[in-house]
C-alpha cells in the first residue's frame, strides 16, 4: 500500500486496497441484470418518445386555427347582422306604435262608424258597405 500526496493529479490506483475492497463490494451488474435493465430503460424511452411525438392538444388546435378564425369572423358578422336587423325592427315598431294608438283613439270616438273602421284597417277600402244610421 503506497502513500499518495500530490494534489495536482490523480494518485495511482492501489491494488492492495482494490483487492481488499473488492472482497466486500457488490459487483454492480451481471450480464443478465444488465440486459434486463437496459431493456427496461429502452422501453421507457420508447414510451416517452411516443408520447413526445403524439400531437398535443395545442398542436391540434393550431392546425384548425385558420378555419376556426374564419368561422369566428363569420359568426361575428352574422350576429352583427341579426342584432342590426332586430334593432331596425324594434325602431320600426316603436315608430308605428303612436300611429296605432292614435287610430285606436279615433275608432273609440266613433264606435259605430264602419266606413271609418274599414278605411283605417286598410282592407277593402273601395268596397261599398251598407249605410247604417248611428
| DSSP-derived secondary structure letter, 80 | H
19 binds another protein (CB under 8 A): yes
To another protein, the closest distance from the beta carbon of 5 in angstroms equals 7
Residue 32 binds to another protein (criterion: CB under 8 A): no
Does 113 help bind another protein (rule: CB under 8 A)?
A: no
Q: Which of residues 46-105 bind another protein (CB under 8 A)?
A: 46, 48-49, 53
Q: Interface with another protein by CB under 8 A: which residues?
A: 1, 4-8, 10-11, 13-14, 16-30, 33-34, 37-38, 40-42, 44-46, 48-49, 53
Amino acid at each position: 500500500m503506497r502513500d499518495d500526496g500530490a494534489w495536482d493529479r490523480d494518485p495511482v490506483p492501489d491494488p492492495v486496497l482494490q483487492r481488499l475492497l473488492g472482497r466486500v463490494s457488490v459487483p454492480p451488474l451481471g450480464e443478465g441484470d444488465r440486459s434486463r435493465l437496459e431493456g427496461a430503460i429502452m422501453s421507457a424511452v420508447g414510451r416517452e418518445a411516443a408520447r413526445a411525438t403524439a400531437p398535443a392538444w395545442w398542436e391540434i388546435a393550431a392546425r384548425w386555427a385558420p378555419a376556426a378564425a374564419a368561422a369566428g369572423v363569420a359568426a361575428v358578422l352574422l350576429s352583427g347582422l341579426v342584432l342590426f336587423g332586430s334593432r331596425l325592427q324594434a325602431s320600426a315598431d316603436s315608430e308605428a306604435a303612436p300611429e296605432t294608438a292614435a287610430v285606436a283613439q279615433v275608432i273609440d270616438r266613433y264606435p259605430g262608424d264602419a266606413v271609418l273602421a274599414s278605411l283605417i284597417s286598410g282592407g277593402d277600402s273601395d268596397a261599398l258597405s251598407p249605410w247604417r244610421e248611428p
